[in-house]
Structures are given as structure tokens and as C-alpha cells.
Amino acid sequence: MLTDLKDAARQYRDVIHTVKTSGDSMFEGSKIKKLIAELNEAKTESDQSKAVEALVVYGRKAYPRIIDAFRNRRLHQTRAKAVLFRLCDFQYMVDILQLIGEPNEEIRRTAKELILKKYADAAAQPLLDYLRSADSNFRMAAVDLLCTLRSKSCVPMLMAMYGEGDSEQKKNIIRILGETDAPGITKLLISALSDTSLSLRIQAVRALAVLKDPECVVPLTQLLAEDDTLLKRAVLEALAAIGDKRAAPAVLNLLKDVDLVIRQKSTECVIQLADASIVPDIIKLMRDKDVNVRRCAVDVLNNVRDPSTADTLVAAMKDSDWWVRQIATDALAEVKGENIVKFFIAMLKDSSDVNVRRCAVEFFNKVTDPSALEPLIATLNDTDWWVREKVVTALGALKDKRAVAALSSVLDDSEIKWVIPSALASIGGQEVIEPLFVLLADSEKRVRVGAVKALGKLKNPDTITKLKEMLDDHEDEVRLEAVNALKEITGRVFKTGDGKQQQQTLKTMMGFVLPEGSIQTEAILVLDLCNSTGIANKYGDQFALDLTKTLTEKVRPIAAKEGCRFMKSTGDGFLITFPKVVNAIRFAFTILKEIAAHNETQDDSARIQLRFAINQGETRIDAKGDRLGVATNMTFRVEGVKGEDLIPLEGSMKKEELPLVDRVLVTEHVIEDALQIEGIKSRLVGLFELKGISGLHRVYLITNT
């Protein structure tokens, strides 16, 4: 009987303990849940820190609830990161590693940051196991982390795994090994160059480009004989990155490749590698029947910068192809020298070929030599308007007052008079004021604008009266320039004649108005002034407005020259449409060139940085002439894409390679037309999701260098 009573008592105590423990657990769970809510809603750093420290006390009991709240968006990423960084020591490494395969991207990103900052090399070995995972999320995350960690302790295991893996695993391993410089890696990568998988070979080439080991130069040059274009492009990029001059002769052979892209890539590569030793080989290519080969060869010769190439470049001036002549002109402008100047002076007098004279006058726009003054003045009467226009700018660059009388004699030349004001301003002095006064009365708006600007640059008080008269000009742009010029001279702000605010919309100024509701297929360009808000916060609103004004002054005439159909300000940039893609692209690169010249004369605070996006598609015109529709929306979305949103493709950029400023991005609707433009090069950035536009979209970076 006593034994039965003891057993019953023991059972009763066990039940009571179970109930109590369960109650404690429920109480703790409720408390943890409440603390997570407090953390998510914390208004101050102090409140956030208190909630974090309170959760850390619960340790393991809090961890799953924190992750669950994070996963179900009951805890913001920054708050979740704060508590996990505080809570998770080495005991949690396995738990955190399991999160790199999470479907939730924010959790994956946070887990990766924790691993890199808290566990580093200690996580490298466990990550190797994930390379064999059936889950692609785990494999991709493990590869990214191992590439970042660059742990040499993993190299032996990776090299062992390479032999047993399939093609995908081998590519992943090559990518990881390519980020390290441990002994033996180069040999493994060289062996991979003969693999049957093309994508694996390309991956090995790219890894060798990172290592830059001279041992791989010969095996890489041997691949240039392969037929595959993608492989050859990768090899050319790798050889350029390695920079070993031994590769130059093999690369030079590809200037005769049938593929245009390969010829261009090989030209760029050999320019980086070449020195005077390959000049004889280049000269042989200069005699090739294929004009494209000659173009590439003279481009290389231009960049070798060896005095011994001058005779060959002079001979190239007689080439039948204008591009060969242009590159040779640029090269000779760098070489200069008395004999070369005499050669180009003689070319100015060549009445048989206008193209020869065009090259000659282009040379003197790059080289200012006093002996060219009289020959240039004589060429002001050339039959070709382009030659006469370039002569005017060349005379301005000489800054010789003897040219003023000659320039004054052609003020009625309708084809070139618009460039005369700038040339006279460059020469300067009292002598140029009278001809500028004559141009103030010209019937063409752009001539009057140029004359007003020129007088503003001179800052001569004798011009104030005439400039005040221009405040009543019938064109708003002339009146605005008169206000600016008078401010330059007097420091005062004058008002236009009728006292009205002369701020005409840019759309009207372009003079291209379409009926409401009409549909147009146009090239759409978005221009953005980078970090305008930050500039205003740091230097003040007026400073930011002055930068915007400077940009506007550059944009308007160039947009008009390219046939702009519509333009409106977006506050810190512009939306502009053009009839064709070529107009938009020329506009973008002209603006970048103008801004680069502006930046050279400014301190860091006044430097302008821009971003461009170009698309093509249908726009719908509203009552104000504004451009609406999906094509316009896509252009704005492309302008603002960020590296962190990039979805990589084979041959695309890495996220960190995407430039933040001074970039021109185009859509897949534009790239084909863009690549038809001489000198334009492109690189695939990658795929992007564009907000409000279904699907994934390829975005390209274009350059003209």
C-alpha cells in the first residue's frame, strides 16, 4: 500500500513539472514574440539596442523565432541582421550555412554577410559540401561565397573534386580556383583549355585572365586558331588582361578575321600589347586589299606611337578609305614635326581631292602651328563647306590677330558664319568686337546666340550697350544669352525688355509639335544628373541649380542639332526623343565629351556626372506634347538599374563591373542599330527585372572609345 502511494505521488510530481515546464516555455515564446515585435517597431537606436540585447539572452530559443519572423516579413531585414550579428557566434555556423539556400533572397543575402564577416575561413570547408548539392540555390551561393573567401585551404579539396565532377561542377570549381593564386592552379586551368565542353574552356580562359600567370600565354595564343567566336573573344580579353607582349604577333593575325567583332577585339588587344617590334608586321597589313584590315592596322599603328611609323602614316593619307585617312591624321597629329606640318600644308592646296583637304584641315584643328596661318586663310575660300568650317575653328585655335580680317571677310558665308563668333572669341582683343557686332544683327538665331556668347567671354565694357539691345531680341534664347553675357561683364542680373520671365519650355524651343493622341515610333533618351539631391544637401540649392543650368546650356543646342523632337526637364535631367537611334547615341556621346571638357576646368564640387538610357519604341503624345507609354517607362527604368539587381548571363558583366556614372545603357530594342554606328562598341550588362514591365530584359553598355 505504501509503495502504491509513493508511486502515485511521484507520478503527480511529474505531471506538475511537465505542466510547469510547458507553461514556462509558452511564457518564454510569448516574451520572445513580443521582443521581436518591439525590435521591428523600435523608433530609436537605443530602443533597438535594448530589444536586441533582450533577445540575445534567450539564445537558441530565440533563434528559430527570429528566422521565422524574418522569413514572414514580421521583422525588417536591417533589424533581423542586427540581432543575428549580435546573437550568432560559432555555435550557430551550421544553422547560418543552411540559410544560403533559402528561397527568400533577403535571408540568403543576410546569411552570406554573416558567413563572410563572422566565420570566414572556418566556413570554407563546409561550403565545399554544398557544391555537390542537388539544390541549385545552395550550389550558386556556395560558389559565390568561396569565390569571395579565396581560401587557399580549400584548394587541394577543390582540385580533387575537379576530377570527379561533371561539367557544371568543373566550371564552378574553375571559377573558385580562378580567384586564388595557390600553386598548381595554372596547370589545372591550362589542362581545362582542351576540355570537350566549350563553356568550360571559356571559364578556364577567364580564370587565367584573373591569375595573369605568364605560363599561360602560349597555350592561350594557340586557342586563337579555333573557329568559335566566343572562345576567341574570351582569349583576346584574357591576353589583354595579362599584358604579355609575346602574344602580340598572334593577336595581330586576327586583324584579318572574317568576324567584325573579332577584328575589333584583336585591334584593341594588340594596341595594349604592341611595341615598335611589330611595326613591320603592321605595315604588311597596311597593304592588304581588305579595307577593314587596313583600318585596323592603321588604328594599331596610330597607338604604337613610334616615330619610325611617320612615313607609313603619311602614305596612308592617300588611302582610298576615309576612315584610314582619318586615323592616320590623328596619329600624325600626335607625332607632329616640321616635315609633317609641311606635308599637311601642301595637302590644303590639293584641288583634286576634297577628302585630302578635309584631312589636312582636321590636322590643323589638332596641331596649332604658326606656319599654317596663311595657308589656312587662303583655304577660307574652299569650295567645300566642311573644309571652310574647320578652317574657321583652326584659325580660332591659332589665336593670331592677323586672322581677324580674314574671318571678317566671310561673315556673309551662310554655311560657316555660325562658327565664326567662337573663333573670334578665342582670338580675343579689341579687333574682334566690330565683326561680332555685325553678327549680332544676323537673321539666324544661332549666329546671334554665338555672337552674344562670344562678347560675354571677352568681358569688354565697351560691349555693354550693344548687349543691352539684345535683351529685346525676338528670340528667347538670344535674350537669355544676353542676360548671361551682361552678368559675366557687370556682375549684375539684367531683365529682358518686357520684364517677363523668359523661361520657354524646351519642347517649344525644339519646334516639333505633334497632335494629341498620335502615336510615334521614336528613339527615347533619358539623361540624369547623378546625385543632384546629395549635391544640393551638401552645397546648397543654388549650387545645384547652377550645375543644372550649365548642363541645360550644353544639352539644348546639341539636342537641336540631332533633330530632337521633344524635350522636357525631369528636375535633375531630361527626357528627350529623336527620330532615330543614331541621333540619340550621337547626342549622348557628344554631351559626355562636352561635360568631360567642362570637368577638366572645375574643382571636384562642380564636376558633373551623368547617366544615359536609350530605348526605341512607340510613344503616345498627350495634350502637352509629353511622351507616354511602355517604351518611355522602360527607358526610365533602364537609366536607374543597379549592379545588385543584375541577373548574370554567359558573357555578361559582374555586378561590381557596372559603372555608376558617365554610362550609356541601351535596351535590346536599340543594340542592333547602335552597333551599325561607326566606333560604337557594346558589352552585355545582363538581365534585369524592370518595375512595371513584364519579363526579363537584356541591358547593354555602349561606348565610343
Query: Is a pLDDT exceeding 90 seen at residue 340?
Result: no
Model pLDDT, residue 498? 35
Distances in whole angstroms, Cα of residue 537 to Cα of each of 435, 532, 533: 45, 9, 6
Total H helices, total E strands in the chain = 36, 8
Separation CA 511–CA 703 (nearest Å): 30
Q: Which of 191, 156, 162, 157 is nearest to 175 (CA)?
A: 162
Nearest-angstrom CA–CA distance, 388 and 366: 16
Compare 375 and 339 and report the one with higher pLDDT. 375
Q: Higher confidence at residue 695 or residue 9?
A: 695
Mean pLDDT across the stretch 107-124?
88
Residues 6 or more apart in contact with residue 222 via CB below 8 angstroms: none
What distance lies between CA 353 and its chain's CA centroid?
A: 39
Q: 274-317: per-residue pLDDT in tens?
A: 776 666 666 666 666 777 777 776 677 666 655 555 555 556 55
**CA distances, 327 to each of 24, 267, 308, 656, 702 (Å):** 83, 13, 17, 34, 21
Which secondary-structure segment (H or E) carries 681?
Answer: strand 681-689
pLDDT digits (tens, 9 = 90+) for 662-692: 999 999 999 999 999 989 999 999 999 988 8
For residue 450, pLDDT beyond 90: yes
**Per-residue pLDDT band at 490 (split at 50, 70, 90):** confident
Nearest Cα residue to 306 out of 340, 285, 277 = 277
Q: What is the pLDDT of residue 606?
A: 77
Rounded to whole angstroms, the Cα distance separating 270 from 239 reads 9
pLDDT, mean of residues 533-546: 66
Residues 614 and 666: beta-carbon distance below 8 Å? yes
Rg (CA), the chain: 34
Per-residue confidence (pLDDT) for residue 310, from 0 to 100: 54
- Looking at the predicted structure, is the pLDDT value of residue 328 above 70? no
Tens of pLDDT along 62-88?
A: 899 999 998 999 999 999 999 999 988
Q: What percent of the chain is modeled with pLDDT above 70? A: 84
Q: Tens digit of pLDDT for each residue in 11-68?
A: 545 544 444 444 446 678 889 999 999 999 989 999 999 999 999 899 899 899 999 9
pLDDT band at 587 (very low <50, low <70, confident <90, very high): very high
Most confident region among 255-259, 575-579, 618-622 by mean pLDDT: 575-579
Binning pLDDT at 50, 70 and 90, where does residue 599 land? confident
Name which of 222, 216, 143, 149 is nearest 185 in CA terms: 216
Domains of the chain listed by start with CATH number:
1-87 (no CATH), 508-703 (3.30.70.1230)
Which residue bears the cell 574652299? 382
Return the C-alpha cell found at 30: 510569448
**Number of CB atoms found within 10 A of residue 392's CB:** 27
Average pLDDT, the chain: 82
Looking at residue 436, its pLDDT comes to 92
> Is 590 a residue whose pLDDT tops 80?
yes
pLDDT reported for residue 16: 43
Percent of the chain with pLDDT over 90: 27
Residue 420 identity (one-letter amino acid): I
What's the mean pLDDT in 478-506? 70
Residue 427 has pLDDT above 60, yes or no: yes
Check if the beta carbon of residue 670 is closer than 8 Å to that of residue 581: yes
- For the beta carbon of residue 169, count every other beta carbon within 10 angstroms: 16
Q: How confident is the model at residue 353 (pLDDT cuts 50, 70, 90)?
A: confident
Q: How far apart are CA 576 and CA 37, in angstroms?
A: 48
Give which of 237, 167, 157 is closest to 205, Cα–Cα. 237
pLDDT single digits (tens) 90-113: 899 999 889 988 888 899 899 899
